[in-house]
Amino acid sequence: MGQKFVTKVILLCIILLFFSIGCEQKYLSNPAFCAFVVADGESLNAEDLAKLDAGLISNEEYERLIRLRENSTLIACALSILKTKENSNF
């Protein structure tokens, strides 16, 4: 699950960059994306906790997934909240 989450975040960032090339920026930042990533991470954390309780994953694997997801969320939020100049690509 952790690698799928990171893959989703990276893919979404690439798609956003692809669509922003050659276009005017209409927004200075995108905090809604950060909120989406946090909410998605929390739902994945709940799924992993259920797997841990069911004995499907070890405690070490659960902790690794949580750390990976927290780091990915911090990076995604930092990138989404960065202010950009109006009418520029980056």
**What is the secondary structure of 2-51 as a DSSP string?**
HHHHHHHHHHHHHHHHHHHTTS----S--HHHHHHHHHHHHHHHHHHHHH
Band of the pLDDT at 7, cuts 50, 70, 90?
confident
Residue 24 lies in a domain: no
Task: Classify residue 4: in a domain, yes or no.
Answer: no
Identify the domain containing residue 78 by its residue range: 30-83
Distance CA 62, CA 3 (A): 13
59 within some domain:
yes
35 in any annotated domain: yes
Residue 3 domain-assigned (yes or no) = no
Q: Provide φ and ψ at 88, rounded to 5°.
A: -130, 165
Name the percent of the chain lying above pLDDT 70.
78
Q: Is residue 69 part of a domain?
A: yes
- Let me know if residue 62 belongs to a domain: yes
Q: Is the pTM of this model over 0.85?
A: no
Q: pLDDT tens digits, residue range 15-40?
A: 777 766 665 555 557 788 888 899 99
Q: Decide if pLDDT at 52 tops 60.
A: yes
Domain total of the chain: 1
| pLDDT greater at residue 52 or residue 4 | 52
